[in-house]
Structure 1
Amino acid sequence: MNFCSITSGSSGNCIYVGSEKTSLLIDAGVSGKRIEAGLNAIDRTSKEIDGILITHEHSDHIKGLGVLARKYNIPIYATQGTIAAIKSISSLGRIDEQLYCPIEADQTFDISDLRISPFAISHDAAQPVAYRVEHGGSAVGVATDLGVYNDYTVEHLRNLDAVLIEANHDINMLQVGSYPYPLKQRILGNRGHLSNENAGRLLCEILHDRLKTVFLGHLSKENNYEELAYETVCAEVTLGDNPYRANDFPIMVAKRDCNSPMVAV
């Protein structure tokens, strides 16, 4: 199984997961042209995509969805609440009703040879989920846009070979920054986004000997920067209550403007 971030950040998100016979996207939050370029960089094309897994309906996760789905007739997998929210967004244009494939949190399903496990997350969207994808004994996970995590979240992220988790903001940068107070409270709240510190603490809960790669994703453009996210998460891991140090694992920041390295698991 191959795993790659095409783009990740507060302005747009799109992740590739695939086997030799199946190719999926998790979210399509940038233009169809940008997604196609990202796929071409890993020797794939949009017409090869077998499905798009949508986490929730915010623009940075669905901006290119309408164009891609219409042009290539790609099935869209999302919860009923997310599908209803997507249908209410006129800027996406009309999407054929038959392309929508309703899913439920905690209800595993298969797309060809990939097994998909959606699980609920705490975010201010209609019915958001994160995803775990498994194939042939290997597993990857994508968990962004969660204000808090708990034992349920940790359980769904255990025993992964690779993971992309949110490290959205530095708390101090957010608090002293230019955002209006209500927006700051929303981001810091239980239905907002994970800070760098909390990303590191979540990572401490799911580390194990087989974990090959950690991507830090969904960084805020205004309230974070790559080096700070990386150093903060690494400090949490090394100083945290776990048997590992940060340099025991490849930890890298997923870029907002180019593909991450492809990870084979």
Structure 2
Amino acid sequence: MWKFLNGSNKKNVDNSVNIEIDMNNIPVHIAVIMDGNGRWAKQRSLPRTLGHKAGVETLKKIVRECSDIGVKYLTVYAFSTENWKRPKDEVSGLMKLLVEYLRNELNELNENNVIIHTIGNIYKLPEPCIDILNKSIEDTKDNTGLVLNLALNYGGRYEILRAVKNILDDYKKGLISDEDIENLNDSRFSDYLYTKGIPDPDVIIRPSGEQRLSNFLLWQCAYSEFWYSNINWPDFSINDLHKAIRDYQNRDRRFGGVNNGEDK
């Protein structure tokens, strides 16, 4: 289905949509709020759990494609700290899907050099989830390809508060000094976040028509590009991923500065 154009620096989908992306300007880090599974199911008079199952199939495709085109980090919002408020059967179904996904896909992820990483407090998840996550992290730790960053029991505000508390704890223990506190900067603060060592997302994708962050990567999104779509996550295709990447590539990222010769 895929073919390279103009040598080796362009890639496109040939079917109904002709989308070209610059293979020399692939986002290093893509983050996705996988939204719209419930709406997708409702539109088809199906249980919400089947919407989540369809969403897992989409995730498989997007992980493979991100790996193929050279994305280094893919962070997916799988379960937020607020999602515990959902009906118990839906939460239970989501946890079972997580276990099923990792059990079924771990060998392929490993074969494709994917590294499993998590952000959030996974130790509040059910024990089978913790076990398979720890196994997946251990089994893929020596890989060198795409980092699949699963945001589980994750909340951006909690992450920032946790970082502040950990800084205070280290200060009380004498691990950091008054001078360290006075010279605290973005980089040093980031070392206390779940995403330590991971660059901030270049682009955050949210399908389903909603245009908000929903407590996702609040610190890390400071200079991220945002890409919204009305497509529900189970219908999100490789074409849509490439549209988001193409739009990202066409944006002028100045990080608060100006281009040479441009007035402020």
Using the size of structure 1 for normalisation, the TM-score is 0.29
The structure with the largest strand share of the pair is 1
Q: Which has the higher contact order (CA 8 A, sep 6+)?
A: 2
The structure with the largest helix share of the pair is 2
Q: Which has the larger radius of gyration?
A: 2
